[in-house]
């Protein structure tokens, strides 16, 4: 059941990135490129594997600008 939920989340993430950041016309990524999306349980990896992963923690980043701007281009 957890594996199904993880795979479903993966499909949603890949779809969202592709819809927002990939141009079918140009066949190219813009703003940010999703190279890979891999689901793995934190209980099934070794400590070495866990330490080699890059954790993105953007909680400290302020999205407030003056004037306010969008994060990604609207197309």
Is 7 among the domain residues? yes
- Residue range 24-63, pLDDT digits in tens: 999 999 988 999 998 887 777 788 988 888 776 666 555 5
* pLDDT for residue 11 is more than 90: yes
Instruction: Give the residue numbers spanning the domain of 22.
Output: 2-42
Is 27 among the domain residues? yes
Peptide bond into 67 cis (omega under 30): yes
Is 63 among the domain residues? no
Is 62 among the domain residues? no
Is 20 among the domain residues? yes
Is 13 among the domain residues? yes
Question: How many domains is the chain partitioned into structurally?
Answer: 1
Is 61 among the domain residues? no
Contact between 21 and 29 under an 8 Å Cβ cutoff? The reply is: yes
């Amino acid at each position: 059941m957890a594996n199904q939920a993880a795979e479903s989340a993966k499909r949603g993430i890949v779809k969202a990135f592709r819809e927002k950041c990939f141009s079918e016309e140009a066949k190219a990524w813009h703003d940010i490129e999703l190279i890979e999306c891999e689901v793995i349980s934190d209980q099934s990896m070794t400590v070495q594997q866990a330490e080699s992963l890059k954790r993105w923690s953007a909680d400290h980043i302020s999205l407030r600008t003056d004037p306010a701007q969008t994060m990604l281009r609207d197309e």
